[in-house]
Amino acid sequence: MNNPTPFAESLLSWYANNARDLPWRIDVSAYTTWISEILLQQTRLNQGIIYYHRFIERFPDISSLAEASEEEVLKLWQGLGYCSRARNLHEGVRQIIENYHGQIPSSFQELKKIKGIGSYTAAAISSIVFHQAVPAIDGNAIRVFSRFMGINDPVDTSSGRISIEKAAYSLMDQQRPGDFNQAVMELGALVCTPKRPACFSCPLINGCIAYREDKIDLIPSKHRKTRVKERYIFYLVILSHAKNNMQVIIKKRDQNDIWKGLYDFPSLEFDGPADKTAVIESENLKIDFPYLSPAELKFTKGPSKHILSHRTLCLNFLVFESTMLPAIKNKKHRVISIDEAIHLPLPRPIEKFLEELIVGQIP
């Protein structure tokens, strides 16, 4: 086996003194590593820790997660965004129960066959838990390797990706791959940050090409900027106070679109900003709710912006209220009490709207 590289030696001695105490580093298993890596791809560390405890407490092992309903998993995930990751994780654990006798496989290649486990997560699990020398390359690792090696190729091109992989393999500590991968992630999170990295506290400063050549702001570079598209969504919040029990019409999002598997209200989408008259007079509204009267429109809320990774949502809520809900014509619509609705898995803006409605913050 090769001797550790100077990069790995400096990095690992820094890590020995600077590694943060994180719950998944105390009780290390393939399952806890998987959960922590998926959560950390979603959110900041502090929030990730809260969700991690919540998740492990409710689903302490593969079988408890596999046996849960998708709705329960989505509810626990609520607030993190990218609910497809929660659905894939859930499918992945069921696949492990069915095809691997409930044992998470140890090899990088086998792990990649599991739904929800991509190259990065497979490398993290196989190196941290099963000591395989495979570099785990996430955004933090890309930044550290590309800056240290002075890789100018844009990191979103295949040549850039190959150069980073080569660099990672050449610098990796073959004997301690799990610690090496975690140390790279830690350095990227704490020292080699995207803006204003703390180079004077960095254990790699002596060999770092980006530092030496004054290219820290230029590396890593990207070929394409992410295009953010705007979507204009008008929610029809149709309420009734029948029998002193506030009810609302909801629907499950079952299309391959944002928030799949979560619940929201019937809605209309426009190509650009629209006013309430355009919404009320739209033919699509009349198809689902032919008897909904404009006189029942009590108030509107919005627009408010909700930002997703590649989308900016402009959300408007049109709130209709009557003593009786209109007849349901669309099979996907359901009538439900507000108190039940708040317990369903919901996108954050819908949860917030219902919370405000329940406490009377909106009329």
Catalytic residue positions, numbered: 37
In the list 62, 114, 210, 346, the residue contacting ligand SF4 (rule: CB under 6 A) is: 210
Residue among 197 and 345 whose Cβ is closer to ligand SF4 = 197
For the CA atoms of 148, 150, 153, 154, the dihedral, rounded to the nearest 10 degrees, stands at 50
Residue among 207 and 302 whose Cβ is closer to ligand SF4 = 207
Q: How far apart are CA 108 and CA 150, in angstroms?
A: 28
Residue among 128 and 210 whose Cβ is closer to ligand SF4 = 210
Residue among 10 and 316 whose Cβ is closer to ligand SF4 = 10
Minimum CB–partner distance for residue 149 and ligand SF4 (Å): 10
Give the helix ranges, DSSP H, for the chain: 6-18, 23-26, 30-40, 45-58, 62-67, 70-77, 83-99, 108-111, 119-128, 139-149, 158-171, 177-190, 209-212, 276-280, 283-288, 338-341, 348-358
Cis before residue 290, ω within 30 degrees of 0?
no
Phi, psi of 28, deg, nearest 5: -85, 125
Under the criterion CB under 6 A, does residue 204 sit at the interface with ligand SF4? yes
Q: Is 5 helix (H, G, I), strand (E, B) or coil?
A: coil
Which one of 168-176, 205-213, 269-277, 292-300 is the stretch in contact with ligand SF4 (CB under 6 A)? 205-213
Which one of 56-64, 167-175, 203-211, 285-293 is the stretch in contact with ligand SF4 (CB under 6 A)? 203-211
Under the criterion CB under 6 A, does residue 147 sit at the interface with ligand SF4? yes
Which one of 20-28, 72-80, 143-151, 308-316 is the stretch in contact with ligand SF4 (CB under 6 A)? 143-151
**Angle formed at CA 252 by CA 246 and CA 255, multiple of 5 degrees:** 155
Minimum CB–partner distance for residue 119 and ligand SF4 (Å): 23
Binding mask 172-191 for ligand SF4 (x = CB under 6 A): -------------------x
Residue among 208 and 285 whose Cβ is closer to ligand SF4 = 208
In the list 205, 297, 308, 338, the residue contacting ligand SF4 (rule: CB under 6 A) is: 205
Instruction: Residue 188: count other Cβ atoms within 10 Å of its Cβ.
Output: 21
In the list 97, 216, 308, 328, the residue contacting ligand SF4 (rule: CB under 6 A) is: 216
What is the total residue count of the chain?
A: 363
> What is the maximal distance between C-alpha atoms in the chain?
78
**Angle formed at CA 258 by CA 254 and CA 260, multiple of 5 degrees:** 30
Alpha-carbon distances, residue 38 vs 77, 262, 316, 329 (angstroms): 11, 19, 32, 39
Residue among 136 and 142 whose Cβ is closer to ligand SF4 = 142
Under the criterion CB under 6 A, does residue 74 sit at the interface with ligand SF4? no
In the list 172, 192, 248, 325, the residue contacting ligand SF4 (rule: CB under 6 A) is: 192
Q: Catalog residues that contact ligand SF4 under the rule CB under 6 A.
A: 144, 147-148, 191-192, 197, 199, 202, 204-205, 208, 210-211, 216
